[in-house]
């Protein structure tokens, strides 16, 4: 049986409204898998591209909307960074790839941070 990656195991421990929820980590016939919550929406990359194709009021995305989305991404990143181990010590998890294609925006404008595949745990786990 394959052991889930450190990143997947850590990400599964993050419980925050702005981080994609990992429902299950497992192994099926020797193939590891991750089951994540389904988010009805688009990536920020897709949203920005749509805005460039049909800008409203001369802006691809209103500054208030952009700031709202960025604040949510920061809140998700902060939650990941504040993740604690069983002894209450922070892992110091750093996402390292917060880009528009790793941010899902649902139909209500809520942001979910995705893909901790290149995250780095600075403390609490083997490097």
CA distance 90 to 83: 6
Contact 80, 55 (CB under 8 A): no
Residues with a known catalytic role = 97
Nearest C-alpha neighbor of 71 from the set 110, 106, 36, 29:
110
Q: Long-range CB contacts (< 8 A, 24+ apart) of 2-5?
A: 2/27, 2/30, 2/31, 2/32, 4/32, 4/34, 5/32, 5/117
């Amino acid at each position: 049986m394959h052991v889930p990656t450190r990143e997947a195991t850590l990400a599964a421990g993050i419980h925050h409204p702005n981080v994609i929820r990992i429902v299950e980590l497992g192994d099926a016939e020797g193939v590891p898998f991750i089951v994540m919550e389904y988010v009805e929406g688009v990536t920020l990359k897709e949203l920005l591209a749509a805005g460039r194709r049909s800008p409203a009021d001369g802006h691809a995305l209103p500054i208030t909307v952009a700031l709202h989305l960025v604040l949510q991404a920061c809140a998700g990143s902060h939650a990941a960074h504040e993740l604690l181990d069983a002894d209450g010590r922070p892992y110091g998890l750093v996402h390292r790839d917060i880009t528009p294609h790793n941010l899902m925006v649902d139909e209500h404008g809520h942001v979910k941070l995705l893909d901790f595949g290149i995250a780095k745990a600075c403390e609490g786990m083997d490097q």
